[in-house]
Chains A and B, each alone.
Chain A
């Protein structure tokens, strides 16, 4: 128990705002790029819908993953510790990874929305 606490406390507790912003922008660019790439084949409505839905898919799944990490992350971390799997999994790490994915998905949704607003 003590060992898991020491591992968890070694992780930074604050969300990585700088990286989150960067990933959000990257997601936005990817969303916009996908929408623009699909534009000639599918038309503005369907192209932006598909790009938005892809971003939403990532965002929704990551949000569920984040909740799972908050609820069960500590238990999983302790389990890995107790069975001595040498796993690098930590609750804080899982939460941060899921937050980054949330930012990526949300960025994709915003990027596709911007293209949709420009085209319509």
Chain B
């Protein structure tokens, strides 16, 4: 059971993290070259028109006023309106429509990483120095080393071009139209009870989630292997075996829970890089998520959209780490101390 004090402390720490990220992003955007008003008005617009836009956006106000207004609005989840990509649309609306796409991709990638990484790590540890162990380690090392912009096209080539098994772009086949409830296409198709659409959605999401999950899978399997090896050598494991308990039961009943603690940390940290990986994966597979939105917003200098997206990423990352801390203390209550 988690103590209230521990939970409250962790929740309160969200405030300085978000304030730090917000301040940092505000500073970077104000130090970067370019004038948002000029971006909106266009290169050929007159100085007078640009000045008018600056006034409308409050860019002529003293900097401390702009900073205070930004923080005040951000607390109310108001990040202003998009300057360029969806001109005049509130940033929160843009994020609301695009965020579930990236979230689904990250969750599916993480599921792939956990589902393959943990069993492979255990197998590798239990069969130490066997052919299985060597192959798993080589696979994990390759997975850690290969970047998404290379593994993505490679898997497209294998599964889409050569084997013709999986589609390479979009989230669902064009003949299906599903009403958006959660924004997660696999969940929405299930809620609609349309199994053919669900199958199509899963079919479309398999390749991108596999690509985004490769690194996670490799890291989790490496961590699980070394953690499990350490646990296997403990006295209590030897005692359990000496009492006549089977190898499988000893590993799963006594070893698994203890070996999982460092792996949980890795899963939490991994989620951040999954969000980062979403930027590349969405570009490779032509998926319109928040990662691509961030790249587009940076390239055209859409300040409010950049600020909103980065803050959302930071919030999600800190929330996942909070979840990791809670899981941590559930696995080993001594950690709360």
Contacts and interface: CB of A to CB of B under 8 A. Distances in A.
Main secondary structure of the interface of B (DSSP, over half): helix
Given A50-B31, A63-B16, A63-B19, A57 B63 contact: no
Contacts of A52: 30, 63-64, 67
Interface string B13-52: 1001101111111111011000000000000000000000
Main secondary structure of the interface of A (DSSP, over half): helix
A109 B60 CA distance: 18
B23 A56 contact: yes
A100 interface: no
Interface residues of B, number: 21
Contact of B17 (A45, A56, A67, A120): A67
Interface string B64-104: 10010000000000000000000000000000000000000
A115 to B, nearest CB: 10
Contact of A48 (B13, B22, B62): B62
Interface residues of A, number: 26
23 contacts: A50-B30, A53-B30, A53-B63, A56-B24, A56-B30, A56-B67, A57-B24, A60-B20, A60-B24, A60-B27, A61-B20, A63-B19, A63-B20, A64-B20, A64-B24, A66-B16, A112-B63, A113-B62, A113-B64, A116-B62, A116-B63, A117-B62, A117-B64
7 nearest CB pairs, A to B: A60-B24, A63-B20, A60-B23, A56-B27, A113-B64, A64-B20, A53-B30
